[in-house]
């Protein structure tokens, strides 16, 4: 009953709750206030610009292997299950590191974590491209898994900070900052396949990976000089978050948001591990053209990022979540239909499936932050920074868990043993069950109407 009352009050934009959370804000010591006041408007804008560039690069690093690695892995002798393991290894590492980053990150090490993460990403995406020169399948498979796993650690460290850093510079525009980040991430998802399709014919398979790695390393250096210095926090402030994140994840409210969202992201891992091979075998799309087939999906994702950000600020985030779950379920079932109607499966059909995937993925991201932050406030988060960190890290866990299971279980094991069509059917059943659970949770807590970012998160 207490939980329902809190969520109902939050739903109505309660000023009392905002005041309660503001009272817990620990970073109000004179030193930190003076530091923020000395931080010029131009430098704040530079921070947002660098974060936007890093979001684009992270998106590119995530999307680049999807169209090109599965056929290359097949040429090196990997099985479909092994390809799924490689595709999921980034997210296994990302998931594990998310727990560590969520528990250990505090205002005194935000900049260090973000810069270290971008450097890891730049090094590993470049190394992944160079593995193409490895002979055979055994060592090649092992190094692919290790490289992508280290990349996942970098993604967890980087993505966790992409939201808190710009929000600190423009706290009154928290929703807009989240929208900018997701739009830029979508642009990166859009640019990865294009860069691959343009550079592979010119410089070979490794060229786009090296280009992405060098570019991200450059922006890591820029971020070091542009990002705000870490806060001067006491040891008590540094340590108080340790363990809170795991306790938060164990609550029934958090799980009622996280698990259904994880299932939506199954589709992302399934896509990276299986789509390009299926399109190649069933439709005959060649490797050099594959990146362009994936481009419309990324365009849809990038465009939807801005639209969803506006909808969330207008209170329609829950509608975006429901749209994401319904459309993802219908798309999975539609992917099963060519089993009975093979003439449906054309290049246009593949593009349409990917576009809808992009729309449904992006419709979940910004609202996921909103719901997780809502639950974090209810569960007694110690500060505004902690609320934002919980939101970012929970989303990393959602994305990573979904992509792991989507790539290894659906795109790998089930796809190898049951085939693409029946794997899609099984996925649609999972989506129906978890979406129903989510809707029941939202309805019981009065959250099916409009829901806004709490005032405390933008003050």
pLDDT at 48: 86
Structure tokens at 89: 């290894």
pLDDT at 246: 72
pLDDT at 323: 85
Domain range for residue 84? Answer: 2-458
For residue 283, the tally of other CB atoms under 10 A from its CB is: 15
Q: Give kind and range of the element (H or E) at residue 414.
A: none
Structure tokens at 242: 């340790």
Q: Which residues of the chain have pLDDT under 50?
A: 1-37, 236, 239-240, 242, 455-459
In degrees and rounded to multiples of 5, residue 447 shows phi and psi of -110, 15
pLDDT at 9: 38
In degrees and rounded to multiples of 5, residue 451 shows phi and psi of -145, 130
* Rounded Cα distance, 209 and 206, in Å: 5
pLDDT at 321: 83
Quick one: which of 194, 169, 167 has its CA closest to 179?
Answer: 167
* Rounded Cα distance, 254 and 3, in Å: 12
pLDDT at 140: 87
Q: Is 205 in contact with 68 (CB distance < 8 Å)?
A: yes
Q: What is the pTM of this model?
A: 0.66
pLDDT at 7: 40
Structure tokens at 45: 């804008």
Q: Is 363 in contact with 182 (CB distance < 8 Å)?
A: no
Give the CATH number, domain containing residue 278: 1.20.1250.20
Q: For the chain, first and last CA: distance in Å?
A: 29
pLDDT at 365: 67
- Distances in whole angstroms, Cα of residue 32 to Cα of each of 18, 29, 87, 223, 371: 21, 6, 42, 20, 29
How many domains would you assign to the chain? Answer: 1
pLDDT at 432: 93
Phi-psi region of 277 (alpha: psi -120 to 50; beta: other; left: phi over 0): alpha
Structure tokens at 63: 């999307």
pLDDT at 8: 42
């Amino acid at each position: 009953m207490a939980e329902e009352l809190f969520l109902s009050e939050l739903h109505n934009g309660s000023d009392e709750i905002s005041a309660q959370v503001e009272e817990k804000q620990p970073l109000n010591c004179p030193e930190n206030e003076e530091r923020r006041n000395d931080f010029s408007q131009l430098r704040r804008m530079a921070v947002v610009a660098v974060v936007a560039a890093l979001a684009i690069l992270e998106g590119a690093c995530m999307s680049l292997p999807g169209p090109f690695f599965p056929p290359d892995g097949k040429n090196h002798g990997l099985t479909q299950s092994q390809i799924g393991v490689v595709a999921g290894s980034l997210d296994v590492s990302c998931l594990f590191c998310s727990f560590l980053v969520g528990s250990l990150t505090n205002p005194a090490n935000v900049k260090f974590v973000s810069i270290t993460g971008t450097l890891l990403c730049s090094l590993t995406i470049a190394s992944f491209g160079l593995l193409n020169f490895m002979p055979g399948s055994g060592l090649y498979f092992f190094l692919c898994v290790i490289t992508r796993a280290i990349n996942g650690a970098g993604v967890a460290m980087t993505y966790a900070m992409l939201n808190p850093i710009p929000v600190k510079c423009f706290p009154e525009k928290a929703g807009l900052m989240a929208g900018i980040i997701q739009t830029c991430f979508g642009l990166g998802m859009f640019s990865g396949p294009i860069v691959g399709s343009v550079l592979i014919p010119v410089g070979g398979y490794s060229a786009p990976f090296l280009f992405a790695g060098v570019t991200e390393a450059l922006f890591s250096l820029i971020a070091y000089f542009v990002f705000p210095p870490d806060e001067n926090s006491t040891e008590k402030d540094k340590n108080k978050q340790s363990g809170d994140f795991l306790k938060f994840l164990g609550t029934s409210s958090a799980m009622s948001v996280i698990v259904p969202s994880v299932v939506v992201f199954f589709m992302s891992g399934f896509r990276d591990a299986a789509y390009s091979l299926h399109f190649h075998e069933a439709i005959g799309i060649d490797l050099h053209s594959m990146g362009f087939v994936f481009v419309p999906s990324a365009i849809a994702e990038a465009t939807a990022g801005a639209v969803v950000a506006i909808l969330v600020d207008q209170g329609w985030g829950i509608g975006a979540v429901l749209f994401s779950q319904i459309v993802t379920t219908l798309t999975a079932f539609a992917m099963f239909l060519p089993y009975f109607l093979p003439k449906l499966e054309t290049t246009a059909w593949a593009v349409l499936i990917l576009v809808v995937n992009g729309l449904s993925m992006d419709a979940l991201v910004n609202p996921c932050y909103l719901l997780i932050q809502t639950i974090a406030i209810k569960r007694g988060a110690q500060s505004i920074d902690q609320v934002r960190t919980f939101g970012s890290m929970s989303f990393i866990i959602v994305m990573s868990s979904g992509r792991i299971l989507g790539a290894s279980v659906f795109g790998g094991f089930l796809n190898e043993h049951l085939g693409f069509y029946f794997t899609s059917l099984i996925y649609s059943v999972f989506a129906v069950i978890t979406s129903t659970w989510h809707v029941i949770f939202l309805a019981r807590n009065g959250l099916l109407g409009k829901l806004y970012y709490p005032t405390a998160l933008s003050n």
